[in-house]
Amino acid sequence: MSETGTRLNELLAEAGLTAVDAGTVGQFTDYISLILRWNARTNLTAIRGEDGILSKHIVESIALARLLPIQIGTLLDFGSGAGLPGIPIALCRPEIAVTLAESQGKKAAFLREAMRVLGLSIRVHGGRAETLTERFGCVAMRAVDQMAEAVTVATSLVRPGGWLALMTTDGELDRLKAAAGTGFAWEIPAVLPGGEKRLTALGRRTG
């Protein structure tokens, strides 16, 4: 196992999460290497170092993947950026058909290259998420610009009985729930590893 893979499983253990199997670790290693190479010329993520990407982005996204209800069959990563959390979800939950929506051309190009390198059959929607016509079993959102406004848009992309997964902070959660409106029943938020009062809130569409 590579040093990157070993470090990933160390961080998962520190967070109380089970290790990733050797095959998937290899895919995560390739994914992180690709992020680092592209980040040198494209602003995929503000965190530049490998350990920061692992601890802040990858472990957090793996934690979400393992929190998602088992009945989810389709998922939209709204404003995917560097593929977070959508790519880790696809790697950890291959039974979920993931769509990555990213309107910025360079980031969408990165996502397509990541699909090629990782051998994943994930759809990349190189445009604004609201132009999609289908509805999804889950819409996941993490570090999206103007997130409250984006949540309002995202709600229309969740099918009846589907889920909205918000990765945010304790201080922002109430504002985002209000933006989602009254048509969601929210579970107790789950604290994400890494501190900074980060959490995931899962809301099921009831209306």
Domain map of the chain by residue range? 3-205
Q: What are the tens digits of pLDDT across the range 48-94?
A: 778 889 988 999 999 999 999 999 999 999 999 999 999 999 999 99
Q: How far apart are CA 67 and CA 88, in angstroms?
A: 13
- Residue bearing tokens 């802040």: 56
pLDDT of the residue at 8: 94
CA distances from 106 to 7, 24, 75, 102, 170 (A): 29, 26, 22, 9, 31
Angle between helices 147-154 and 173-180 (to 10 degrees): 30
Q: 162 pLDDT band (50/70/90 cuts)?
A: very high
CA distances from 108 to 22, 102, 127 (A): 28, 6, 8
Q: How far apart are CA 82 and CA 34, in angstroms?
A: 10
Distance of CA 59 to the CA centre of its chain: 11
Q: What are the tens digits of pLDDT across the range 96-147?
A: 999 999 999 999 999 999 999 999 999 999 999 999 999 999 999 997 888 9
This prediction's pTM: 0.95
Mean pLDDT of 159-172: 95
pLDDT of the residue at 114: 97
Q: What is the mean pLDDT of the chain?
A: 93
pLDDT of the residue at 195: 64
CATH code for residues 3-205: 3.40.50.150
Q: 35 pLDDT band (50/70/90 cuts)?
A: very high
pLDDT of the residue at 115: 96
pLDDT of the residue at 196: 67
What SS3 state is found at 77?
Answer: strand
- Residue bearing tokens 């893979």: 5
Please report which helix (H) or strand (E) contains residue 27, including its range. helix 22-39
Mean pLDDT of 34-53: 85
